[in-house]
Every structure is written in C-alpha cells, then in structure tokens.
Structure 1
Amino acid sequence: MATYQQMIFLNLPVKDLEASKNFFAKLGYTFNAQFSDDRTASMPLSESIVVMLLTEPRFKEFTKKEIADSATTTEALIGISAESRAKVDELCDAALSAGATPSGDPQDHGFMYGRSFQDLDGHNWEVIWMDPASVEG
C-alpha cells in the first residue's frame, strides 16, 4: 500500500518577481517552469515543500485580506532545515551577499544552530541545523 506524502505550499507575495527569482537563484534554488509564469514562480525546497512566489496582485486573488506590510509586520517565520552548521552559514551568507538583511543574532545551543535573514520582501527565513543524535534521544 502506497503512503500518501502530504505537501506544503508556502505562498509568499513579492513586489518584483524577477528580483525575487534572481535572489533565490543566488542561494542555489531552482524553479519549476511547469508551475511558473510571469506572475508566479514555483520554487521546490524538497519533494514535499514548494514555495510559491506570487506578485502582489496575483497573491491578492487568493485572499480578501490586506497583504501584510513585511517591512513593519511579521506575517510568519519561515523555518527551513540545513544538513550541517556549515550549510546554515553557507545559505545565510549567500542570502546576505544577494541583498538580504540579517534578522537577529545567530543562535548556538551546541546541539542546535541557526541564523536568520529577511529576503528582499522582508519575509523572515530561519535556517536551522540540529544534531541528529540529539533528535534521536
């Protein structure tokens, strides 16, 4: 019997789709052309997690609420894992080099290490590594 793998689609409003695509490409991400167009970019993070970058007018088609002003409001904290401490630093350093701004101080708890940044639209990304031995118990 096949097991169903639930997926997560994180939809984020962006002011400039091409600038956002260029930013995330500099971090090593690619885009699925089948689910992208001039108003939407589909960016797979894994087989089960996809970030959908939507121009603000396109994003507005999915909600009756106002879009949060991410310059003054935190609408979400987006946490993603990294395979090592070095990969946390690599991704965050690449983000900062590509135009992101730091978001808080690095957190080092020995068994867990994380850094964060705000992307070009002010969305807060938390990049975290956790020692697999600490998770196992």
Structure 2
Amino acid sequence: LIVMAAAVADVTPGIYQEMKIPKHGLPAALPLKPVPDILAELGRLKQPHQYLVGFAAQTGDIIKPALQKLNKKRLDAIVANPVDKPNAGFGSDTNQAILIDKRGRHQQINRCTKLELAHRLFDFIQNPPEDNSNVKYQIITR
C-alpha cells in the first residue's frame, strides 16, 4: 500500500546556478521545467497485489479531474479534496474529501480533522462500500 498525499513539486527551475544570483542580476522571468511524476511512475510499475492511492487537491469541480487522474495514473483509489473551501485543504487542520476507488465506489467525508480523514481513508481501503445508495462515479477504463 502506497498513499501519495501530495506531489513533491510540479516544477523546478529550468536553469541551475552554482552561485547566488545577485538581486541586480535577477532575470525578469525564471524558466521552469516539469519534474518527474512519481505517482504516475508508481502506477506504471504497480503489480496486481499492490494498492496505490493518490490525492487530487482541486478547486471548483473536484470529481472530474480526480477521475481523470485516477485513470491516467493507474490508481486504485483517489482522495478528491477541495482546497477552495473554508477550513479545508492546505494550511488547515481540517479537510473534507470524496474517496473514490477504481470501481467507482465512493464515500463522502465531511469536514473533520486530517487525522480522522486518514482513518476514514484506511477504513475505505480495507472495507470499500459494496454498493452506494446513489449512482457510482463512472470510471473510463484504459
């Protein structure tokens, strides 16, 4: 079981400098380059007996991008969490989320402490709901 709560970084400086750049020598813009996607690589290498969970911190519609990430990165489950809600996401002791597995089973987690959310995530992984009372999220197969 691997749970990847957040990317190490999405980008890194495109130019490496041996020495500190003096303030008067700073460029108007810093070129950036993407870093390797560790979660996608783990999904590519994952074996059938392994279970991989990712997070999708989103603003606005959190479901569609989370499902795309679940599929594209070959995850077994994803935690879709809104970072544009009060008292949720980065810089907060609380969060809320929707847990979704690759079969479309899901569970809404209302605002709670991040520790409680972690416990609920592990409960979801160990005992996913057999059937949701509402419509399952549609997972597009690869």
- What band does the TM-score fall into relative to the shorter chain? under 0.3
TM-score between the two structures when normalised by the length of structure 1: 0.28
> Which protein is bigger by CA-based radius of gyration?
2
Which is bigger in relative contact order (C-alpha 8 A, separation at least 6)?
Answer: 1
TM-score between the two structures when normalised by the length of structure 2: 0.27
